[in-house]
A and B are shown apart, each in its own frame.
Chain A
C-alpha cells in the first residue's frame, strides 16, 4: 500500500484510524500537560516536545481530510473544522488554547478559591477570595442604605416583579391597566417607598443609596423618561417648522457630540451655577436629568431612522383619512416606526445601563462604585480582581438578558411584508 498517497476514499480504512489516533494523542498530550502538569513527550528534546502536539494534530487532521468519504460524521467534522490546512491549524490552536486555559481558570474560580469565612485572613488559597463578595454582598446590592430599612427596596422590587409577572398571564384588556400602573403610578410609589419621609417611613437621603439597586433605579427612570423625550425630539427633527427643526437638531447634536462624563461633570459643577442662589436640587435628580437628556438624544436618532424608513404612503394614507398630526403619528406612524427600530432602541437602552457606573463622577456609588469603595478598605486590600469579575458577571447577565429579550421581541413583532 502506498502510504504517501493523498487521503481518499480508497485508503479510508487505514488513514482515518491513524489520523484520529494522532489527533487524540495530541489533544491528550496537551490535556495531561495542562491538568496534571506532566509532559507525556518529556523524553524527547524540549523544542520537539513543545511542538509535537501541533505536528501530530496537523498530520492527523491531514489524514482524516477525506472528501465525500461516505461517513456522515466524518464529512460534517471535515466541513466544519478541517476544510483545509489553514483551518486545521486554526482549529488546533483554538482547542489547545481552550484546554490550556481551563485549569488555571478552574483553579482561580473554584478549586483554589475560598468560600467560607468572614475576613481576609480566611482566604488562604491561591485562587479567588469569594469571601470578599460574601461579606460585602449586602453593600454591593444596597449601597449604604441602612440595614434595617432594606426591606423597602426589596418590597419595591418585589412589587415590580410581581406586577410584571402577573401581567404576562392576564387578558389583553387588563394588561393595559397593568402597563399604565407600571409607567405612571409605580415609579413614584416605588421612589416614595425607598426614600421615605412620610407614612411613618424613615427618610433615607439619596447619598446613602447605592449598589446594584441604584443601578436599577437610575436605569429604570432614565429609560422611562428618555423614551418619550427621544420620540418628541425625533418628531421635532423631522418637523416642517424650521424653528422647531433646528432647535431639535442643535439639541440632539450637542448631546451626541460630547461624552457622558462631561455632561455629568456639568450637572455636578456647572448646573448649580445656573440656579438661583440657595436652590438645591438633589444629586440623584441632577444625574437623572443629565443621563435622561443624553440618552434621549441617542434615542431620537434611532427613532428618526425608523421614521425615515417608513414609506411615504403611510403618511399620505393617514392624512387622507383626515387624521391630524398627533393622531397620525400616534396611531399610524410611530407604532410601525418603533417596531422597525427595536434593535436600535435595545442598543440605546443597553448603552444606558452600561453607562450607569459613570455616576461615580458626582460621588454616587452603584455596583462598580461600591466595589471601588470596598477594595480600598484597609481590611480588604488586593481584592480588585474578585470585585470586578463579580461586577462584570452581574452586568453581563443583565445586558445579555436584555439583548436576548430584544431579539425575541423583534421576532415576535415582526410582520412579514
Chain B
C-alpha cells in the first residue's frame, strides 16, 4: 500500500517539478526583461503606450492605395503599409498559383523536353535565395528598361519604363451598383449550383452549370451598364515633358518597379514549391482510380474533373497553404528594395522617427501573426470542405 501511494506521489511530483521549473524560468525571464525595459524607457524619457498612433506621421510614402500624405497619423501610415503588404501578397499568390500549377503539371508531361525544362525551372529558382532574386529583378533586370520617353508601349494604352509600368486608370460612375450586381451574380450562381446538384442527385439530370454560371456572371453586371447608369471610362497615361530631358507620364496608374520586382520574385520563387506540391498531389492519386474511372465510361475530361482533381486537391491544399503563408511572410523582404510595405513603413520609418521599438515591433509581429492565422484558418475551412465525407 505504502509503496503504491509513494509511487503515485512520486509520479505526480515527477510531473509537477519540471513544469514548475519551466514556468518559473519563463516568468523570471519575462520579469527580468520587463523591468529592464521599464528602466531603459524611463532613462530615455519615453513611456509605454500606443498614443503615438494618433500623432502626425510627417513622412511621405511613395505608393499608397488609400489617400495618404505627411499630415496623416502613424495609424494611417500603418494601414497604408498593411494594404501594400496585402496587395503584393495577393498578386504574388495569384501568379505563384498559376505558374506553380503549370510547372507542376509540366513536370509530369509525357513530353520529355517540357518535363526537363519544368524540372530545371524548379531546380534553379528554388535554390537561389529569394532576396537575391528580388535584387536581381529590381537592380539588374528592371533597370535595363528604357526611360519614359522611349517606354515600351502596348498599343499606346500602357507603357513599361524604368520608372514603372503605367496602365490605364478605371474611372467608374455608380461603382456601388456594379459591385452589388457582381455580388448578386455570385449569390445567383450559388443557388444555380445547389439547384443543379439537387437535379443531378434526384433525377440524374446534368445541367450545363459552368456555362449558365458564366452567363449569369456576365449578364447581371451588363444589365447595370445598360440600364442602371453604371459606366466605365479609362484614363490613359500620356507622355509629358517636364523639362528639356525629363519626361514622365500623366494620368493612369503607375505600378512602381518595386512592386513589379517583388511580385515577380515572390511568385516565381514560391511557384517552385507549389509546383512540387502539385506534382506530388497528382502522383498521389492511384493509377487504379484513373483506370476505374475510365472503365465506367467517363471521358478524359470527366476523369480529370470528377476523379483525379478532387483527390489530388486534398493532397495539394495543405502544403500549398503553407506556401501562401510563406509568400505573405516573405513579402516583408520588400524592405530591402524600399517597397513601402508594413515592415519598411512602420518597423522602419515610423520606428526611426518615434523610437518606440517595443510597441512598433510588437504591432508588426502581431499583424503578421494575425495574417498568418487568418490565412491558415481560411485554408483549414476549405480543406475541411474538400476532405473525404464519410457516410
Partner of B358, one of A273, A368, A371, A375: A273
Complex formed: what's the CA distance from A247 to B39 in Å?
A: 27
Could you tell me if B36 and A384 are in contact, using CB atoms closer than 8 angstroms?
Answer: no
Contact of A259 among B33, B36, B330, B373 (CB under 8 A): B330
CB-defined contacts of A266 to chain B, threshold 8 Å = 361, 365
B130 at interface by CB-CB < 8 Å: yes
- Bound Cα distance A83, B19 (Å): 65
Give Cα distance in the complex from A368 to B129, angstroms. Answer: 10
Q: Which of A81-140 contact B (CB under 8 A)?
A: 81, 83, 87, 90-91, 94-95
Contacts of A147 in B (CB 8 A): none
CB contacts (< 8 Å) of A388 on chain B: these are 132, 135-136, 139-140
Asked whether any CB of chain A lies closer than 8 Å to the CB of B22, the reply is: yes
Number of interface residues of A (CB under 8 A): 56
Tell yes or no: A243 within 8 A of B by CB.
yes
State in angstroms the CA–CA spacing of A276 and B43 once bound together. Answer: 11
Chain A nearest CB from B368 CB (Å) reads: 5
Q: Is the CB of B114 within 8 A of A242?
A: no
**Restricting to A377-397, which residues have a CB under 8 Å from any CB of B?**
384-385, 388-389, 391-392, 395-396
Q: Which of A10-18, A49-57, A327-335, A356-364 contacts its partner?
A: A356-364
B325, chain A: closest CB distance, angstroms:
8
Q: Determine the chain A residues whose CB is within 8 A of the CB of B133 once the complex forms.
A: 392
B37 within 8 A of A: yes
Q: Judge whether A258 and B111 touch: CB under 8 Å.
A: no
Q: Are A399 and B132 within 8 A (Cβ)?
A: no
Residue from B20, B36, B336, B351 in contact with A276 in the complex, judged by beta carbons closer than 8 Å: B36
In this complex, how many residues of chain B approach chain A with their Cβ under 8 Å: the count is 57
Q: What residues of chain A lie closer than 8 Å to B336, measured between beta carbons?
A: 360
Point out the residues of chain A lying under 8 angstroms from B33, CB to CB: 274
Residue A216 is within 8 A (CB to CB) of chain B in the complex:
no
Q: Name B's interface SS.
A: helix
Beyond A275-B36, A357-B129, is A385–B110 a contact (Cβ under 8 Å)?
no
Bound Cα distance from A350 to B364, whole angstroms = 26
B72 within 8 A of A: no
By the criterion CB–CB under 8 Å, are A368 and B131 in contact?
yes
Report whether A83 and B111 are in contact in the complex, using a CB–CB cutoff of 8 Å. Answer: yes
Interface residues of A in 210-254 (CB under 8 A from B): 240-244, 247, 254
Closest to B144 in A: A385
B50 → chain A closest CB, angstroms: 15
Q: Are B132 and A273 in contact (CB under 8 A)?
A: no
Most chain A Cβ neighbours within 10 Å, of B117, B133, B139: B139
Question: Could you say which residues of chain B place their CB within 8 Å of the CB of A358?
Answer: 131, 333
- Cβ-defined contact, A395 with B127, below 8 A: yes
Tell yes or no: B329 within 8 A of A by CB.
Answer: yes
Interface residue? B15 (CB, 8 A): yes
Q: Is the CB of B333 within 8 A of A395?
A: no
Interface contact A241-B358, CB-CB below 8 Å: no
Asked whether any CB of chain A lies closer than 8 Å to the CB of B98, the reply is no
Q: Shortest beta-carbon distance, A294 to chain B, in Å?
A: 11
Q: What are the nearest 9 A-B pairs in CB distance? A: A399-B127, A243-B19, A384-B139, A259-B329, A385-B140, A80-B112, A259-B332, A274-B33, A354-B129
Residues of A that sit less than 8 Å from B by CB: 79-81, 83, 87, 90-91, 94-95, 240-244, 247, 254, 256-262, 265-266, 269-270, 273-277, 350, 353-358, 360-361, 368, 371-372, 375, 384-385, 388-389, 391-392, 395-396, 399-400, 403
Q: Would you give 22 A-B contacts (Cβ < 8 Å), ordered by A?
A: A80-B111, A90-B114, A94-B114, A243-B23, A258-B365, A259-B330, A259-B331, A259-B332, A259-B368, A261-B343, A262-B365, A266-B361, A273-B357, A273-B358, A274-B33, A274-B36, A276-B36, A350-B127, A361-B335, A384-B135, A388-B139, A395-B127
